[in-house]
Amino acid sequence: MLEYRRLARNRRKLLALTGLTRQEFRTLLPAFVDAYRSRYEGNKTLAGRKRQRQVGGGRVGKLERAEQKLLFILVYTKAYPLQVVLGELFELSQASTNEWLQRLLPVLRDALRALGVMPERTGAHFARAERRKCESAEYIIDGTERRRQRPQKPAKQALHYSGKKKTHSDKNVLIVHTRSKRVGYLSPTYAGKTHDKKVAESEQIVYPRQASLHKDTGFQGYEPRVKYSYQPKKSREALT
């Protein structure tokens, strides 16, 4: 069974499984605990019914401790395993795994919002959200793809097939702050075949006036209203 106390001793494994360092995990944990308490009152069960026993009474669950709950949901969001696989890692049934995911995903979202690190999801609001951060406006925009199950319908198969990744995928566009590595914007999910430039243009992202934007050749021709726009040029060797 995956346990935080044991996993925390190996920083590489913790980072690989959760995407967070030990310090980042410890920073997130108090906000996660507060968000959990605000959603699930102490005098009620998780189903919303009035408790017949005090908190802590009865059988001790596999995710009793707060750090185990946070580890569970971070492993899911980082690795995105099948629920059966996730259940095996934490010694839970598939039904219990599904139930815990439904409980903890909103809690994690609330905690990230409380810490001010939740990415903006609306392109038109990106500049306004960034102004509240009081950071330098230096960004990198890029597309990211993740594998998905092969669709059954031929038309949907063609739509989600990514020639670049040679697999069926879903795509999002990210805007990351160059210094803090904070994800400032996350686009809605598009089919893997959709071009990066098309996604960015469709979302009509508004940047801060003094923004510097770094982009790769996947955004060739994408020229938003920013102060500086940087894009690497293809080498002569690549053109021949």
Asked if residue 13 and residue 111 are part of one domain, the reply reads yes
- 17 C-beta neighbours (distance < 10 Å), count: 17
Range of the domain at 158: 123-239
CA–CA gap between residue 207 and residue 211 (Å, rounded): 6
> Checking DSSP bridges between strand 190-191 and strand 161-162, what pairing results, if any?
unpaired
**Average pLDDT of the chain to the nearest whole number:** 89
Domain end, chosen from 49, 84, 115, is at 115
Give pLDDT, residue 17: 94
pLDDT at residue number 53: 63
pLDDT score recorded for residue 87 = 94
pLDDT at 64 over 90: no
Question: Alpha helix locations (H) across the chain?
Answer: 4-7, 11-18, 22-39, 66-79, 83-90, 94-115, 126-131, 154-160, 196-203, 236-239
Evaluate if residue 127 carries a pLDDT over 70: yes
Co-location of 12 and 79 in the same domain:
yes
Residue 128 and residue 111 in one domain:
no
Average pLDDT of span 54-76: 82
For the chain, how far is it from start to end, CA to CA, in angstroms? Answer: 53
Last residue in a domain, options 52, 86, 115: 115
Say yes or no: 106 and 127 in one domain: no
Helices 66-79 and 94-115, packing angle to 10 deg: 90
- 101 and 41, same domain (yes or no): yes
Position 39 confidence tier, pLDDT thresholds 50, 70, 90:
confident
Task: Examine the domain organization and report whether 216 and 145 are in the same domain.
Answer: yes
Between 164 and 55, the more confident residue is 164
Could you give the C-alpha distances from 158 to 15, 83, 163, 195, in angstroms and in order? 35, 27, 10, 14
Q: Are 181 and 211 part of one and the same domain?
A: yes
Domain-terminating residue out of 88, 115, 142: 115
- 28 pLDDT tier (thresholds 50, 70, 90): very high
Provide CB contacts within 8 A for 147, sequence distance 6+: 165, 167, 168, 169
Structure tokens at 226: 């920013």
Here the tokens at position 223 are: 């020229």
Q: Give the count of domains, the chain.
A: 2
Q: Taking residues 105-119, report their average pLDDT.
A: 93
Please give the average per-residue pLDDT across 4-26, as a whole number: 94
**Looking at the structure, do residues 111 and 127 belong to the same domain, yes or no?**
no
Query: Does pLDDT of 22 surpass 60?
Result: yes
Verify that 127 and 111 share a domain, yes or no.
no
**pLDDT given for residue 194 in this prediction:** 93
Same domain, 101 and 31: yes
Among 204, 185, 186, 182, which residue's Cα sits nearest to residue 136? Answer: 182
**Residue 126 clears pLDDT 80, i.e. is over it:** yes
Banded pLDDT at 59 (limits 50, 70, 90): low
DSSP class of residue 149? P
Per-residue pLDDT tens for 137-157? 999 999 999 888 899 999 999
pLDDT of residue 165: 82
- Same structural domain, 84 and 25: yes
| pLDDT higher than 60, residue 212 | yes
Residue 137: both structure tokens together: 């406006």
Strand pairing category for 167-177 and 138-147:
antiparallel
Q: Specify whether 172 is located in the same domain as 73.
A: no
Residue 234 scores a pLDDT above 80: no
